[in-house]
Amino acid sequence: MNSVRARLLSALAGQLGNPHGALGKGVAFVLNRGNKAAIAGAVRAADVAPGGAAADVGFGGGAGLSLLLERVGASGVVHGVEISADMLARARSKHGSDLAAGRLRLVEGSLTALPLPDDSLDAAITVNTVYFVPELAAACAELARVVRPGGRLVIGIGDPDAMAKLPFTSYGFTLRPVPEVIAALEQAGCAVEHRRLGSAPIPHHLLVATPR
């Protein structure tokens, strides 16, 4: 029984890091619902203006894409970067008119290999993704690279102590202390503001970084 439970939890953790297949469709719904408050908080903290260029890296179910599109308006551009081919296909299906208008650009990529030019964004968000990235310093350096000096990049993470109590986070998650993530952003040349969201079901931390 324990081995079956371990396999199920490992499969769930894998889907959360890279949603795919029939199960991935359900995971996308869960990601949008469970991360709603954290994603909305990250979009607010990114504070991108109408006409701006923004990105959601590891957008999963796509809730952040819709919120960023609302923020940048008709003259802005939102980039969606995702490693999951199924989540990219889901977003393409949902946002056909935005893609056709050039307001949304969807590309395959990861936190450590962003297919974006230097200083090309006014803002970037990534929520509940850094648990799956072994190279935290490289990820922070990539985010800082693509956001212009004075812009904002926002990393959202669940509170590590609360996350550690979830049964699936021992399978493939790296739950780093918040100061470690802040230090990686500072090493990448950013000034960092630490904000807290006490929303259920998991409290979140928003690390609002400004590349210098």
SS (HEC) of the chain? CHHHHHHHHHHHHHHHHCCCHHHHHHHHHHHHHHCHHHHHHHHHHHCCCCCCEEEEECCCCCHHHHHHHHHHCCCCEEEEEECCHHHHHHHHHHCHHHHHHCCEEEEECECCECCCCCCCEEEEEEECCHHHCCCHHHHHHHHHHHEEEEEEEEEEEECHHHHHCCCCCCCCCCCCCHHHHHHHHHHCCEEEEEEEECCCCCCEEEEEEEEC
Closest C-alpha to 202, from 161, 174, 168: 161
Task: Calculate mean pLDDT across residues 6-16.
Answer: 56
Determine the pLDDT at residue 95.
97
Check pLDDT > 60 for residue 203: yes
CB atoms within 10 A of CB 148: 14
Q: How confident is the model at residue 1 (pLDDT cuts 50, 70, 90)?
A: very low
Say which residue, 21 or 70, is predicted with more confidence.
Answer: 70
Number of Cβ within a 10 Å radius of residue 14:
17
- The per-residue pLDDT for range 102-158, each reduced to its tens digit, is 999 999 999 999 999 999 999 999 999 999 999 999 999 999 999 999 999 999 999
Mean pLDDT in the chain?
89
Q: How confident is the model at residue 174 (pLDDT cuts 50, 70, 90)?
A: very high
pLDDT of residue 7: 64
pLDDT above 60 (res 74): yes
Q: Which two tokens stand for residue 190?
A: 């950013």
| Mean pLDDT, range 57-77, rounded to an integer | 96
pLDDT at position 167, please? 85
The predicted pLDDT at position 33 comes to 65
| CA–CA dist 176, 161 (Å, integer) | 10
pLDDT band for position 168 (50/70/90)?
confident
14 has pLDDT over 90: no
For residue 12, pLDDT beyond 60:
no
Reading the block at residue 128, the tokens are: 């509940």
